[in-house]
Amino acid sequence: MKIINKKVMIIALGIFVVVAQVIISISFANNTGTDDKSVDVINELAPNYKPWANSIWEPKWEYSELLLFALQALIGVSVFTYFILKQKSKTVK
């Protein structure tokens, strides 16, 4: 039981670290994405080109984007963790 608790603690810590890292890094990021750089190249190649569609919804609140990225990471890590724990429990049995 203690071993399982330890594993759960480690995995919970891992989830926390990944999610926290996503939140912190997006908050302080100022690097230009390659998507923005490719838009610059498009503007250079076709200066008259006007984008014909806009995003359905853009996060308006400053932290919406980072929270959604964190949610994405959390969903992924949770499923991955569930798989590892389930497989481990099968091995123990």
Partner 1 sequence: MNKFIVTFALLSVLPFTGNAMHITEGFLPPQWSVFWAVVFVPFFILGLRSIKKRINDNSANKLLIAVMGAFVFVLSSLKLPSVAGSSSHLTGIALGALLIGSSSMSVLGIIVLIFQSVLLAHGGITTLGANAFSMAVVGSFTAIAIFKGTSVFFKNKNIAVFLAAFFSDISVYICTSFQLAMAFQSESAPLYSNFMKFISVFAVTQLPLAIIEGLLTVLALKLILSVSKNDDFISSNKFMKALTKS
Is residue 56 at the binding interface for partner 1, with CB under 8 A as the rule? yes
Judged by CB under 8 A, the residue of 4, 8, 9, 75 near partner 1 is 75
Furthest CA-CA distance within the chain? 66
Judged by CB under 8 A, the residue of 2, 5, 55, 93 near partner 1 is 55
Is residue 12 at the binding interface for partner 1, with CB under 8 A as the rule? no
Residue 1 C-beta: closest distance to partner 1, Å = 16
Q: Are 22 and 69 in contact (CB under 8 A)?
A: yes
Alpha carbons 67 and 22: distance in angstroms, whole number: 8
Alpha carbons 58 and 51: distance in angstroms, whole number: 16
Q: Are 75 and 36 in contact (CB under 8 A)?
A: no
List residues near partner 1 by CB under 8 A.
Answer: 7, 10-11, 13-14, 17-18, 21-22, 24-26, 29-39, 41-42, 44-46, 49, 51-59, 65-66, 68-70, 72-73, 75-80, 83-84, 86-88, 90-91
